[in-house]
Structure 1
Amino acid sequence: MAQLLKVHGSENKFFILDQTQLNNQLSDDELKQLAIKICNPKNNILDGADGLLVVNDSKYNDCLGQMRVINADGSEAKMCGNGLRTVSRYLSEKLNQDSFKIETFETNLSVEKSENFYDNVPAFSVEISPISFAKDDLPFQYKDKLELIDTEVPEFISGQKFTAVAVPNPHLISFVDEVDEDDLGELGQALNAPNAYFPEGVNVSFCEILDDNKLFVQTYERGVGFTNACGTGMSATSLVFALLNEDYFNPDEDITVYNPGGLVKTNIQLSAHKEDSKIHLIGNATFTHTLEISENNLHAGTLDNIEISETGEEDNYQDFVNSINEA
């Protein structure tokens, strides 16, 4: 029998599949089809998820493992900050280490166990990198600009300014007085359909500045749509916030980022060369269910005979969310 985990970071929900535990690993096409099926809420497997996180052995000696991110639509993302925290916890408990590196699509990232956010709500801190504002790295095309930083783009939304940054997933960020979900959804859909500006699509985030080092971020995620939270989106937004809002940014403290699924903290260390800045994302890594399935059915994508059991951790997380709402 093969085992999967249902997990979340800030209610950004995933299934984890550790391929190192299988007799025969799934092919790329099998992984894509599995992600499409298991993440679709219409298939009634724990209401679906935003993606499938695949754990493999790393080709690097200084990494405990490799993480791949297969979105709900079967596309592969370069990184996922919320997912990385859950994989970090998984590898930490599997191999009994609290500080290590994980191989991702584009780079090897440092992760470490953090103090719990709340009673029985485990938390991990993960490095988010590399950073680039260059048009070719997102990629984007707008007039003759090599970077898009705090720029009005009336073709997107009149009167709003936008910043584009890759961390390494591409993000388009706008600071607003109040998040308008209709505007965010329409822009997110438009820029993830064939368009003249972001040929490979882009994650779109709107951010409200609530106070010094306190933000609310909502994201329309490429390959997924609206999510409760996007880890790289909150990380990218925190970086842009620090760069553009020195009156509200305190570099000596973490930034608290609220999202529809709860909250995370980010730590931003700015550099004179903005691409050399450092980002760490800190938040929960919650395991809600274990799933048992035969390996043959896993390869075939036959998901109608799965044994599911709850961990009880979601109750603890909801207590944490309630404490936020009461604060």
Structure 2
Amino acid sequence: MSGRPFVKMNGCGNDFVVVDALSRPFAPTSHEARAIADRSAGQGCDQLIAIEPSPTADAFMRVWNADGGTVETCGNALRCVGWMLMEAGGRDRVTIDTLGGPTVAKRAGAHRVTVDMGAPRLDWTEIPLAEEMDTRGIELQVGPIDAPVLHTPGAVSMGNPHVVFFTESVPADDFVQGAGSLIENHPLFPEGVNVGFAHVEARDRIRLRVWERGAGLTQACGTGACAALVACARRGLTDRAATVAVDGGELEIVWDEATGHVLMTGPVEVERTGVL
């Protein structure tokens, strides 16, 4: 573990410690992953990322959340890892495999990357939910039964589970933290869930805040931005392309009608390098 070089990167403020494990395995325990992610005693990040060899892609991306648990994928990290692989290989396109499936990353300008996140998974068994429901608007609410503050969110999997509430305004930190932590481990979601709060400002613009499963309130969540656009478009609240403004910046999301895939474009930033 010790002596491993890393690169600290972020995508719209969603930050990562990225370790190259292509030639030397990197297998931290959940305790070690938590210690690295710790913002006071460690390097500090939302997710710890390892770039590993893949038999079918240019690399495999493994993701640990700040709580030390592994998750399927991370959209903003895919852009960062894609950029690193393209820089290292002098290429404009790479394929990255994840536990949530393979992804293609392409250059979209200086320090900008487009990631093909694949088709959203919309059946209740794919999210997954504990019981059968129409995922355009599932039976879930926040607040009193007779006067809920939020209700009937959309559910989408982008390789990881998301629930998206539609809000009248942009919710405050304490609301996102309170509602998010409550819903993250709700029995309706057997694998836990990322919780999005989407305020539709126009048919091509969504203001989004996300409580990320295992990481908490984040500056940005790439799969969450994709899920929000899909959930909003399925309800007729937006078109199939929109700017999703997150706390840390803006992501361009397109749900392509021809392929059914969701494309996410946004910035990558290298903060520093170091050694664990």
Q: TM-score, normalised by structure 2?
A: 0.90
- Structure 1, residues 264-286: CA drift from partner, whole Å, max 9, x if none? 11111136xxxx72101101111
Give the stretch that moved more between structures: 102-111 or 129-138. Answer: 129-138
Counterpart for residue 270 of structure 1: 257
Q: Distance in 2 between matches of 1:237 and 1:227?
A: 15
Give the C-alpha shift of residue 21 in structure 1. 4.3
Counterpart residue type for residue 284 of structure 1 = P
Q: Distance in 2 between matches of 1:270 and 1:156?
A: 36
If each structure's helix is expressed as a fraction of its own residues, which one has the higher value?
A: 1
Q: Secondary structure at the match of 2:31?
A: helix
Q: Distance in 2 between matches of 1:177 and 1:154?
A: 15
Q: Distance in 2 between matches of 1:73 and 1:50?
A: 9
Give the C-alpha shift of residue 187 in structure 1. 2.4
Q: Distance in 2 between matches of 1:278 and 1:59?
A: 24
Give the C-alpha shift of residue 31 in structure 1. 4.8
Query: Which residue of 153, 159, 164 corresponds with 1:173?
Result: 164
Q: Distance in 2 between matches of 1:292 and 1:31?
A: 18
Give the C-alpha shift of residue 18 in structure 1. 0.5
1:287 corresponds to 2:270 = yes
Counterpart for residue 218 of structure 1: 209
Q: TM-score, normalised by structure 1?
A: 0.77
1:90 corresponds to 2:84 = yes
Give the C-alpha shift of residue 44 in structure 1. 4.8
Counterpart residue type for residue 288 of structure 1 = E
Q: Distance in 1 between matches of 2:209 and 2:102?
A: 27
Give the C-alpha shift of residue 156 in structure 1. 6.2
Q: Secondary structure at the match of 1:41?
A: coil
Counterpart residue type for residue 64 of structure 2 = I
| Contact 2:136/2:235, CA 8 A, preserved across alignment | no
Q: Secondary structure at the match of 2:22?
A: helix
Unmatched tracts of structure 2, length 5 or more? none
Unmatched tracts of structure 1, length 5 or more? 117-121, 294-327
Counterpart for residue 35 of structure 1: 33
Q: Distance in 2 between matches of 1:51 and 1:100?
A: 21
Q: What is the identity percentage for the equivalent residue pairs of Structure 1 and Structure 2?
A: 25
- RMSD of equivalent CA atoms: 2.0
Query: Which residue of 128, 131, 147 corresponds with 1:139?
Result: 128
| Contact 2:16/2:77, CA 8 A, preserved across alignment | yes
Counterpart for residue 53 of structure 1: 49
| Contact 2:136/2:234, CA 8 A, preserved across alignment | no
- Structure 1, residues 79-98: CA drift from partner, whole Å, max 9, x if none? 10000000001111111111
Q: Distance in 1 between matches of 2:98 and 2:59?
A: 9
Counterpart residue type for residue 266 of structure 2 = G
Number of residue pairs matched? 269
Q: Distance in 1 between matches of 2:175 and 2:130?
A: 21
- Structure 1, residues 192-233: CA drift from partner, whole Å, max 9, x if none? 33x321122100001111123111110000010100010000
Counterpart residue type for residue 91 of structure 2 = Q
Counterpart for residue 114 of structure 1: 108
Counterpart residue type for residue 207 of structure 1 = A
Counterpart for residue 175 of structure 2: 183
Closer, same or farther: CA 26–154 of 1 in aligned 2, 3 Å = closer
Q: Secondary structure at the match of 1:35?
A: helix
Query: Which residue of 118, 123, 135 corresponds with 1:129?
Result: 118
Q: State the structure with more CA Rg.
A: 1
- Structure 1, residues 56-90: CA drift from partner, whole Å, max 9, x if none? 11111xx2111011111111111100000000011
Q: Secondary structure at the match of 2:252?
A: strand
- Structure 1, residues 245-295: CA drift from partner, whole Å, max 9, x if none? 26x41x5xx421111101111111136xxxx721011011111000034xx
| Contact 1:156/1:187, CA 8 A, preserved across alignment | no
Query: Which residue of 179, 183, 187 corresponds with 1:196?
Result: 187
Query: Which residue of 64, 76, 95 corresponds with 2:58?
Result: 64
Give the C-alpha shift of residue 33 in structure 1. 3.3
Q: Distance in 2 between matches of 1:215 and 1:57?
A: 36
Counterpart for residue 260 of structure 1: 247
| Contact 1:266/1:281, CA 8 A, preserved across alignment | yes
